[in-house]
Amino acid sequence: MSGHYEAPIREPLIIGHKTYHDITEDIARPIEERAGKLWWISLYAALVLFIYGFGCIAYTIGTGIGAWGLNRTINWGWDITNFVWWVGIGHAGTLISAVLLLFRQRWRMSVNRSAEAMTIFAVVQAAIFPVIHMGRVWVGYWVFPLPNQFGSLWGNFNSPLLWDVFAISTYFSVSTVFWFMGLIPDFAMIRDRAKTPWTKKIYTFLAFGWGGKAKHWQRFEELSLVLAGLATPLVFSVHTTVSFDFATSVIKGWHSTIYPPYFVAGAIFSGFAMVQTLLLIARKVCHLEEYITMYHIEIMNIVIVLTGGMVTVAYATEYFIGWYSGSRFEDFTYLSPGAAVGPYWWAFWSLIICNLVVPASFWFKKARTNIIWTFIVALIINIGMWFERFDIIVINLSRDYLPGSWTMFKPTIIDVGVYLGTIGFFSVLFLLYARTFPVIAQAELKSILKISGETYKAKEGDEHH
């Protein structure tokens, strides 16, 4: 890899006059130094949310899901909205890691570690919602194909809800292995720098005997490619399977062939927005401006524009079909003239403004390279994608085929509490990760220092002149 030629005109991926030792010091610093006041404040705030959410989940299990705002018409509400939202957020990590690795995109090396961690933590949050939505959590193991001594096979394999179990558990397993495997050289680096016996023991165990030998690197790169090959179809299969929960039903607005590609594009769109949100914070807090550069931020904004364009086309298609069909049942689906002016007009226009209007600013380079604006837009997209899932579920269900069944959804404090709890849980996991694991793959960065480092590119440019 180090012998690969790269044109001097390309933007450097590592700025500042960095050496191999500088990279090691910069990546190890957040782990080896004491946590700052801001980190502790963030952790306490996240823990408060997590404990409150855990209390709401315990109340739900003890009381039943009647504690939520569900009713006889809308029997999926905030719970499945949050489930699909969290699964979508978990999409960008595997895309950045696996697909961009196969395409040899070097800019992924500064952002893939945090994106992979985000994937795993988001899937953990997503898994909470279907489990508690069952009502009887203690028989949750029925969804797995159990040996016959447990009784008959309880799972209905014709149900897309059961496909979700297998798709998401496979996705979680492969993503975790991919993430952990990439961390092994970095664990060895922390092990070799450890100052206390306890730290050394922990990182020695995590490093799996890594010694940096040529054979170790050969196996590391081979396994990376194998796992990337396995994970790439998962990027497309997982959210496709989630979309089948809706597309295989007979509910108006759900029974649509556009859902699988539309859900995948929307998941990558929201996932990249969350990666931007977390990386911009990590970049500032951990002082990683030389490694997560403006070039990285702009490239990710271009991906957001691309996937946002796909989502926009899907929105336009859904809206057109709702209007052109002439069916009065289609006139109150989540993207239709009826939704735009009906009682859920605020949710419809939140979706349009957050996902279509605001991200369109990234067509302009000045907006794409503005850090504060990028952070604001990333947050707005995350809000907009939540509204999209809310609209798909609640607006479509609120107007049944029988006018006597028409109703409105009102979330309870328990609904809101469970959702806030998952945000707190996710934040706790990410904050602990940033303090114990290297947030950038330093071994991979070192492999491109001589072709993409600012110092070396400047020298190469001088030679060409």
Segment 391-438, tens digit of pLDDT? 888 888 888 777 778 888 888 899 899 999 999 999 999 999 888 888
In the structure, what pLDDT confidence band is assigned to residue 373 with cuts at 50, 70 and 90?
very high
Residue 9 lies in a domain: no
Angstrom distances, CA of residue 368 to CA of 114, 302, 463 = 21, 8, 32
In the structure, what pLDDT confidence band is assigned to residue 378 with cuts at 50, 70 and 90?
very high
- Report the pLDDT averaged over residues 245-271: 87
Cα distance between residue 332 and residue 395, in whole Å: 7
In the structure, what pLDDT confidence band is assigned to residue 284 with cuts at 50, 70 and 90?
confident
Residue 79 lies in a domain: yes
Residue 106 lies in a domain: no
Residue 125 lies in a domain: no
**Domain count of the fold of the chain:** 1
In the structure, what pLDDT confidence band is assigned to residue 360 with cuts at 50, 70 and 90?
very high
Asked if pLDDT for residue 353 goes beyond 70, the answer is: yes
Segment 55-75, tens digit of pLDDT? 999 999 888 888 888 888 888
Segment 120-162, tens digit of pLDDT? 999 999 988 888 888 788 877 777 777 766 665 666 778 888 8
Residue 120 lies in a domain: no
Asked if pLDDT for residue 377 goes beyond 70, the answer is: yes
Chain mean pLDDT for the chain: 84
In this prediction, residue 125 carries a pLDDT of 92
Report the percentage of the chain scoring pLDDT > 70: 93
Segment 157-206, tens digit of pLDDT? 788 888 888 888 888 888 888 888 888 888 888 888 888 888 888 888 98
Using DSSP's 3-state secondary structure scheme, residue 176 falls into: helix
In this prediction, residue 458 carries a pLDDT of 60
Residue 445 lies in a domain: yes
- Report the pLDDT averaged over residues 205-224: 86
pTM above 0.85, yes or no: yes
HEC states along 118-129? HHHHHHHHHHHH
In this prediction, residue 450 carries a pLDDT of 74
In this prediction, residue 385 carries a pLDDT of 92
**Measured torsion, CA atoms of residues 328, 332, 334, 337, in degrees rounded to the nearest 10:** 80
In this prediction, residue 150 carries a pLDDT of 67
- Report the pLDDT averaged over residues 84-107: 83
Segment 302-331, tens digit of pLDDT? 989 998 999 999 889 888 887 887 777 777
Residue 305 lies in a domain: yes
- Report the pLDDT averaged over residues 339-344: 85
Residue 311 lies in a domain: yes
Domain boundaries, position 340? 20-92+237-460
